[in-house]
Structure 1
Amino acid sequence: MARGDLTDAEWAILEPMLPAPTPGRGGRWGDRRRVINGILWRMRTGAPWRDVPERYGPWKTCYERYRRWAADGTWARLKRQVQSRAEAAGDIDWDAQVDSTIVRAHQHAAGARKGGSPEESRAAQGLGRSRGGLTSKIHSITEGRGRSLATRVTPGQAADTKQLESLLDDIAVPRPGKAGRPRKRPDSLTGDKAYGSKANRAALRSRKIKAVIPERRDQVNNRLRKGSAGGRPPSFDSAQYKQRNQVERGFNRRKQFRAVATRYDKLGSHWQATNDLIEVIDWIRATPDKT
Structure 2
Amino acid sequence: MTTYDSDLTDAAWATLQVVWPARSLRGNRPRWPRRLVIDAILEVLRGAIAWRALPKEVPPWRAVLSHVRLMRLSDVWERINAALRGQYRVRIGRTAEPQAAIIDRQSANTTNGGGARGVDGNTKIKGRNRHSLVDPLGRLVEAVKANFPTRNTIWADQGAAGRGFQHLGQCGTPAGSGGDGSVAAARTFRARGAQGPGVR
State the TM-score, normalized to the length of structure 2. 0.65
Paired with 1:142 and 1:8, the residues of 2 have a C-alpha distance of 28
Whole-angstrom distance in 2 between the partners of 1:81 and 1:238 = 26
Q: Which amino acid aligns with 1:239?
A: A
- Say whether residues 1:196 and 2:176 are aligned partners: no
CA gap of 1:17–1:93, structure 2 versus 1, over 3 A, is closer
With over 3 angstroms needed to count, the CA separation of the structure-2 counterparts of 1:44 and 1:134, relative to structure 1, is: farther
The structural deviation recorded for 1:39 is: 0.9
Q: Is the 8 A contact 2:19 2:76 kept in 1?
A: no
Distance 1:52-1:78 versus aligned 2 partners, 3 A rule: same
Q: Contact (CA 8 Å) 2:148, 2:173: kept in 1 or not? A: no
SS in 2 for 1:37: helix
Moved over 6 A (4+): none
Say what the alpha-carbon RMSD is for the aligned residues.
3.9
Structure 2, unaligned runs of 5 or more: 120-124, 178-182, 196-200
Greater RCO (Cα-Cα under 8 Å, separation 6 or more): 1
Unpaired runs of at least 5, structure 1: 111-121, 153-162, 170-183, 216-235, 244-291
Cα distance, 1:204 vs. partner? 4.6
Of 92, 100, 105, 2:97 maps to 92
2:106 is aligned to: 101
Q: Give how far 1:106 is off.
A: 8.2
Partner of residue 168, structure 1 = 148
Of the candidates 16, 19, 39, which is equivalent to residue 17 of structure 1?
19
Hey, what does 2:131 align to over in structure 1? 139
Deviation of the 1:56 alpha carbon: 2.5
How big is each residue's C-alpha offset from its partner over 1:201-251, in whole Å with a ceiling of 9 and x where there is no partner? 452585344143158xxxxxxxxxxxxxxxxxxxx34324678xxxxxxxx
Contact 1:212 1:240 in 2 (8 A): no
8 Å Cα contact 2:104/2:132 also seen in 1: yes
Task: Return the structure number with greater helix share.
Answer: 1
1:55 partner SS? coil
Equivalence map 1:27-38=2 (5 Å): 28=31, 30-38=32-40
* Percent of residue pairs identical: 20
Q: Does the CA-based 8 Å contact 1:190-1:213 persist in structure 2? A: yes
Count of aligned pairs between the two proteins:
175
Distance 2:192 2:147 in 1: 21
Aligned-pair CA distance for 1:65: 1.2
C-alpha deviation, 1:63, in angstroms: 1.3
Matches of 1:207 and 1:24 in 2, distance apart?
41
The one of 231, 238, 251 equivalent to 2:190 is 238
- The TM-score with structure 1 as length reference comes to 0.48
